[in-house]
Each structure stands twice: as structure tokens, then as C-alpha cells.
Amino acid sequence: MQQPHNFKPLDETLTNRYDRQIRLAQIGLAGQTTLANSHALIVGLGGLGSPASLYLAAAGVGQLTLVDFDVVEETNLQRQIVHRQQTVGMSKVESAKQTLAAVNPHITINAINAFLSPEKLFELCQQADVVVDCTDNGFSRTAINEAAMMAGKPLVSAAAIRWEGQLSVFDGRDLNAPCYLCFDPHANQGGETCDAQGIVAPVVGTLGVMQALETLKVLLGNASLIGEVLLFDGLSMSQRRFKLTQDPDCPVCAARKQRNNH
């Protein structure tokens, strides 16, 4: 991974905290330092964003920007484990920030309680090293995909409903890689939601945890699911994966190629 000019060495007092990661050959002190200097944009602090943000905070990703426009409701608590009974009625980003700061006070957490315009979303994607889509509907996924691809950033995207889920990485740094819209050209029609269809808590939790894992690997430079989709079925406890190719008719991929040519 290319190191930015303001790359700081890891604070020595934190090597004990991250010892079990630093011991790994694929991470080490260099990898942990990369994580400490990384910035993840997490959109959606619900069933996916709860475990994803908890693990990214605990693992020591130095800066997290949390985006959501919702408030915590009682029906969220069954699966949105970053929130608490006491934070019902509070904005999800503020509720999540409190929990994450208690888990790891050594990282920077920005909370944005708003429904973002495409321009603002693009600006936030530009500032991040990785975009983590933890939203629950096709409209948001379409908007986040376009912003991340146009900003040239990797996008770690997950979804879960009922007993099943999917996970993929769309690499905005590679003009020939498929994007979310290549995978699902009809995503902007909205699709099914957990509110209507139901969701098993540990299933969305599993997907959120795997999303955090793949996000760490994107930051460390060894992601596995770039241009691939992993499908997880929690009822039969099975998974399979398949490769994607770029859709020659994808308007987002056409636009980002055109942008790069100018």
C-alpha cells in the first residue's frame, strides 16, 4: 500500500494492545502501523455496521467516519449490537461513537448524522482509504457505489436478509474491475429489506464481521474478494463464491473510465 506523506509510526504504548495482530506474519508492526494510519468510511450503523465498526475500531483502524441518518429504535437492539438500551432515541452515529470510543479510545471517530447528497458522499469517499457499505437497501448501495468508484476507492459491500447474505469487494482503484452496479444493474430499484422480510441476528452479524475482515485485508493489501461474490447461507451453514466481470454497459464504469481519461 502506498504510504501517504503524513504516515505516522505506531505509538509504542499501543504495541501491547495490538500484540495478537502484530504477531501475524501478514500484519506485523508494519501492517498495524498501516491500519493506524488508515481511514475507513462506514455508511450505515445497523446490523452490518455494528459488528463491522466494532471490529475495525478494536483492530486499530486509526480513523473511522460513521454515517447514518437514523435514530436507535427498540427493534434494532435484536441485532445492532453497537447500540444499547440506554441509547434508544439517540442518533445511531452518536450511539455507535460512544460504544466504539469505550472499546478503543486511541482512534479518531467522526460521526455524521445526515442523509448525504451525492456530492457530500463523493467528498467523504475521496477522504477515505476504504468505503464500507453497511446500508440495507439498493438505493443507498447504488449511490455509495457510484461515489466510491468515481473517487477511485475500494468498496467493501455486504448485504443480509432472512438466513442468508453476500459479501464482495469492488475495486474503484482498478478501472477494469467490476462495480456493484455491474453485479446488480437493478439495485437502484430498492430490492427487499430486512424490515419487511426479517433477518436472523447472527447471520447479519456474520456478514458484518466478514466485512470487517475483508476491510482490514483491503487496507493491508491482501483482499480476497475483489471482483468476487461470497454467498453465505446460515440455515444450511454453507457458502460458495463466484467471479464477476465488468458489465460493458455499466454506466458507472463507463463514467469512471471517462473521468480518468481527462
CB of 159 to Zn ion, least distance (A): 17
State the nearest-atom distance from the C-beta of 151 to Zn ion, in Å. 14
Residue of 181, 187, 223, 225 interacting with Zn ion (CB under 5 A): 181
Q: Which of 182, 187, 218, 223 binds Zn ion (CB under 5 A)?
A: 182
Cβ closer to Zn ion: 217 or 256? 256
Nearest to 43 by CA among 194, 162, 211: 211
CB-nearer residue toward Zn ion: 96 or 252: 252
Q: How far is the CB of 19 from Zn ion (least distance, A)?
A: 41
Using CB under 5 A as the binding rule, whether residue 187 contacts Zn ion is answered as no
177 binds Zn ion (CB under 5 A): no
Query: Where would I find the beta strands (DSSP E) of the chain?
Result: 39-43, 63-68, 108-113, 130-133, 154-161, 164-171, 228-233, 238-243
Q: Does 253 bind Zn ion (CB under 5 A)?
A: yes
Choose between 58 and 175: whose C-beta lies nearer to Zn ion. 175
Among the residue ranges 153-161, 218-226, 232-240, 243-251, the one whose residues contact Zn ion (CB under 5 A): 243-251
Q: Which of residues 93-152 bind Zn ion (CB under 5 A)?
A: none
Report the amino acid identity of residue 199. I
SS3 readout for 29-83: HHHHHHHHCCEEEEECCCCCHHHHHHHHHHCCCCEEEEEECCECCHHHCCCCCCC
Residue 179 in contact with Zn ion, rule: CB under 5 A: yes
Determine the Cα–Cα distance for residues 83 and 73; give it in Å rounded to an integer: 9
d(CA 96, CA 86): 12
* CA end-to-end span of the chain: 25
Is there binding between residue 250 and Zn ion (CB under 5 A)?
yes
Query: Does the protein bind Zn ion through residue 230 (CB under 5 A)?
Result: no
d(CA 36, CA 27): 12
**Which residues of the chain form contacts with Zn ion (CB under 5 A)?**
179, 181-182, 250, 252-253
